[in-house]
Amino acid sequence: MSRLVVVGGGPAGLAVAIGARRQGLEVTVLDRATPPVDKPCGEGLMPDGTALLGRLGVALPGLSGTGTVPSPAPGTALDPPPVPALGEARPFRGIRYVDGDTVAEGLFSPPAHGLGIRRTVLHQAMVERAEAVGVELLWGERAVGLVDPIGSPESGEPAGSSSASGLIGVRTTAGRKLVGRWLVGADGLRSAVRGWSGLAGRAAPRARQRFGVRRHFDVEPWSDLVEVHWGEGCEAYVTPVGERTVGVAMLWSSGLVSGTGGFDTFVAQFPSLAARLSGVPVASRDRGCGPLAQRVRAVARGRIALVGDASGYLDAITGEGLSLAFHQADALVAAIGQSERGEATDLASYTAAHRRIRRLPEALVRLLLFVERRPSLRRRMIRALAAEPEVFDRILGVHARTLRPRDLGAVTVLRLARRLIRPGVRPGGHSAPPP
């Protein structure tokens, strides 16, 4: 068996480890934290992300039969998993945009649904699956550099190059050298592996940096939709994540929001949301992160590969970071498998797949960031989506990979463009309002 060393035991790293172990590779994961690991994020899984977890055999709370989700052919949509019961996870039917008095709703095509789930609950479920398939998990142990003499400055070899032994690895705080045929950096936005391997790109401009903070509230969810409240340089993402837990994540842009007053200052920008949360007990301490944008020169070099946030990140504005990480993990495991079988000599197929996986989501992120900085255009966009709910449904379906891009259709795009050009058209609505 071949040995795969994964630096970073979050969802991205565990998805790689589980997938590789199921293909017969010996896998070691190390992480400086101990499970269950929390992280500031919106905690909403799109339908394709939940389906990919099902293919890995991860047992999510109240979700049965996830292992039966078929692997889709290239270019096709993923079948949705069954709807979970209430408890430590909560299904959601779509997205609601709120900008002042304007509300637009996009719904997944039934039976597709997203899943709101606490990051700690998701992480624990993935840890248990990794343990069950035989992944070696080293918690509380941090990687401190690439091993000598392979791929280090001392050896004179470029990071990630193949030595005579064909091994690459890391040194740890426990004084160990973990080596294998493959090294995966899944260590998040501030990836150390990305820096050691020379794969880090230029820093994003300070004027466009974005930050986030998340807090949970002890209250029964008031909607089965994820709500996105739009403000001036700031958005609030409201996700139902349990029977009596709602997560609220704030994202804001430096230069567009004055001061750093924290969560309460941001929520005050949204009067209706602030009124709903007034007096509600707080269920977690605030967790923040940023700047969000991270650039890479490449996602693979030699026997080193990056996955998840470590492989480049633009913004959380579309809420699909976890789903993208699971798609990337799936593609990386496939590329490593090709090399192990002698069908490829490098990870070029992963580089191509990574580019393909990110292309459409990144285009949507850039579009939303563009309108986020232009309030008048943003309000027109939301009014247009409110007037054409079926168009919003289709856009959401393509975004969640329950529909193919060609399902959007030129007519759909023209309808939306007409509404943008004629902002005074009276909004429409879904035939049946959500409960």
The pLDDT of residue 233 is 83
393 CB-near residues (< 8 Å, 6+ apart): 94, 106, 107, 108, 109
- Using the 8-state DSSP alphabet, how is residue 10 labeled? S
Of 343, 362, 381, which residue is a domain's last? 362
Q: Which residue has the tokens 């001036």?
A: 232
Angle between helices 375-387 and 389-399 (to 10 degrees): 110
The pLDDT of residue 63 is 54
What SS3 state is found at 169?
Answer: strand
309 and 189 both lie in a single domain = yes
Q: Which residue has the tokens 């550099």?
A: 145
122 and 194 both lie in a single domain = yes
14 and 146 both lie in a single domain = yes
Neighbours of 266 (CB within 10 A): 23
150 and 285 both lie in a single domain = no
Residue 393 lies in a domain: no
Q: What are the DSSP calls for 343-361, one per residue?
A: S-SSSHHHHHHHHHHHHHH
Q: For residues 166 and 91, what is the distance between their CA atoms, to the nearest angstrom?
A: 45
Q: For residues 203 and 209, what is the distance between their CA atoms, to the nearest angstrom?
A: 10
Of 237, 270, 289, which residue is a domain's last? 289
Number of domains the chain contains? 2
Residue 157 lies in a domain: yes
Of 362, 386, 409, which residue is a domain's last? 362
| Residue 324 contacts residue 298 (beta carbons within 8 Å) | no
User: How many alpha carbons lie under 13 Å from residue 275 in its C-beta half-sphere?
Assistant: 3
CATH number of the domain encompassing residue 271: 3.30.9.10
25 and 127 both lie in a single domain = yes
The pLDDT of residue 75 is 41
Cα distances (Å, whole numbers) of residue 45 to 190, 200, 293, 317:
23, 27, 21, 14
158 and 177 both lie in a single domain = yes
Work out the angle at residue 44's Cα, subtended by the Cα atoms of residues 239 and 353, and round it to the nearest 5 degrees. 155
Q: What are the DSSP calls for 207-238, one per residue?
A: GG-EEEEEEEE-S--S-SSEEEEE-SSEEEEE
The pLDDT of residue 423 is 54
* Tokens at 164, concatenated: 């005579």
Q: Please give the helix or strand (H or E) that residue 290 lies within, else none.
A: none
Residue 111 lies in a domain: no
192 and 128 both lie in a single domain = yes
pLDDT, one tens digit for every residue, the chain (435 residues): 568 999 999 999 999 999 999 999 999 999 999 999 998 888 999 999 999 999 999 988 755 433 333 334 334 444 444 444 445 789 999 999 999 899 999 999 888 899 999 999 999 999 999 999 999 999 999 999 998 644 444 444 444 444 435 789 999 999 999 999 999 999 999 999 999 999 998 877 766 788 899 999 999 999 999 999 998 888 999 999 999 999 999 998 876 555 456 888 889 889 999 999 999 999 999 998 888 888 899 999 999 999 999 999 888 888 888 999 999 999 999 999 999 988 988 899 999 999 999 998 888 888 888 888 888 889 989 998 998 898 899 888 988 888 888 877 766 677 777 777 765 545 455 644 444
Cα distances (Å, whole numbers) of residue 271 to 97, 105, 268, 368:
15, 20, 6, 23
Residue 233 lies in domain: 207-289
The pLDDT of residue 435 is 41
236 and 165 both lie in a single domain = no
143 and 9 both lie in a single domain = yes
